Copies of this chain bind each other. A is one copy, B any other.
Amino acid sequence: MLKRYLLAPGPTPVPSEALLAMAMPIIHHRSPDFLPVLDAAKNGLKWLYQTKNDVLIICSTGTGGMVGSVNNFFSPGDKALVINAGNFGERWTKICKAYNLYVEEIKIDWGYAVKPEDVEKALKKDPSIKGVFVQASETSTGVYHDIKTLASIVKKCKNTIFVVDAISALVAHDLKMDEWGIDVLIGGSQKGLMLPPGLAFVGVSEKAWKFAEKSTSPKFYFNFKKERESLAKNQTNFTSPVTLIIGLNECIKILQKEGLENAFKRHETLAHATREAVKAIGLEMFTKESPSNSVTAVNAPKGLDGQEIYKNLRVKYGITAAGGQGQAKGKIFRIAHLGYADTFDVITAIAGVEMTLKGMGHPVKLGAGVAVAEELLLK
């Protein structure tokens, strides 16, 4: 028997409360049974997003939310400023280009965060930029971008909106949508929200809704105005993914019991403990600055392949973490502390890494990282 542990940056483990609620007999999305379900989801998402506006619920992966945030607020030829600091920054560029936007990139070395002043400069230089696109947490590098400062910069430009992919940051980082002035905030189900994949969430500011009025990009499946109208009637535009929304309500209940501030604090604490423990093992962070609360990216020790560490963790110890993506493939491995995660998930991850490296012939003082994690996670 090999007991399994899921410590990847999405999908993350789903609490039994949600799994069992989703295993209940299905209900019909256009029947009155569903109205209170969607009503609860709407209220829960507003709470989670710290916004007074409805948060759209889309039946797609998180990427669908990103695509919808391009084709609903922009038109061919519009100028986009993309902060490209990793694999998912690159995705913004690809989506914008697929919809014929003109893309200017602020390209950042992997492992580093954007300097807000560079965004400010770019916007001053070219006031025709219609949208600034960024990740809150860049999953491929484990970097958190300073969303609060970036929002305050874009807020000053009345012809520009700030579009944030928070798919892997939601629940793990405090993102005050209304207070900070984030215009479009995208989440996904299978990350901090502790659900299976299948839902994207999109919060939209009044400023962004005005942009939507002018968009000429083709839209049918991702049609945010129609989703907004449907949501006002406690429906979704097309067939609602009823089971996932029922699960969403269960997970939001769990988070509401914990409290939003406590959830952020939990992720911060787990992330900090993971980083310090990793360093105590003698490993080096791949993330050079502003580490994310969602995932920790670690350099493979010299002479070892990051993918092999990932594989050994999985095959020998039943731990599904993550390897590297794109240019970081082979060079790093990543450990998530996201969603339904607590103290002993970090302990498991660190012990697993210690034992795996030892098994691969790397000199490791067993227990050194775990001792540091224990120290930092003492209650």
Contacts and interface: CB of A to CB of B under 8 A. Distances in A.
Interface of A: 4, 6, 8, 10-14, 19-20, 22-33, 59-64, 67, 71, 94-95, 98-100, 188, 190, 196-198, 217-222, 238-244, 314, 320, 322
Contacts of A8: 28, 30-31
A23 B31 contact: no
A10 B239 contact: yes
A272 to B, nearest CB: 25
A27 to B, nearest CB: 7
Residue of A32, A60, A62, A94 contacting most chain B CB atoms (<10 Å):
A60
Contacts of A197: 29, 59, 239-243
Contacts of A242: 11, 196-197
A103 to B, nearest CB: 13
A344 to B, nearest CB: 16
Contacts of A61: 59, 238-239, 241
A133 B221 CA distance: 17
**A-B complex: 8 closest residue pairs judged by Cβ atoms:** A23-B23, A196-B243, A98-B220, A19-B23, A61-B238, A67-B221, A61-B239, A197-B239
13 contacts: A11-B242, A19-B22, A19-B24, A19-B25, A59-B60, A61-B238, A64-B238, A99-B220, A188-B239, A196-B243, A197-B240, A198-B198, A217-B218
A27 B6 contact: yes
Contacts of A29: 11, 197
Contacts of A33: 320
Contact of A221 (B64, B190, B243, B314): B64
A33 B67 CA distance: 29
Contacts of A244: 196, 198
Contact of A59 (B20, B22, B198): B198
A161 to B, nearest CB: 19
Contacts of A322: 30
A221 to B, nearest CB: 4
Of A11, A12, A95, A242, most buried by chain B (CB within 10 Å of CB) is: A11
A229 to B, nearest CB: 15
Contacts of A220: 63, 67, 94-95, 98-99
B26 A11 contact: yes
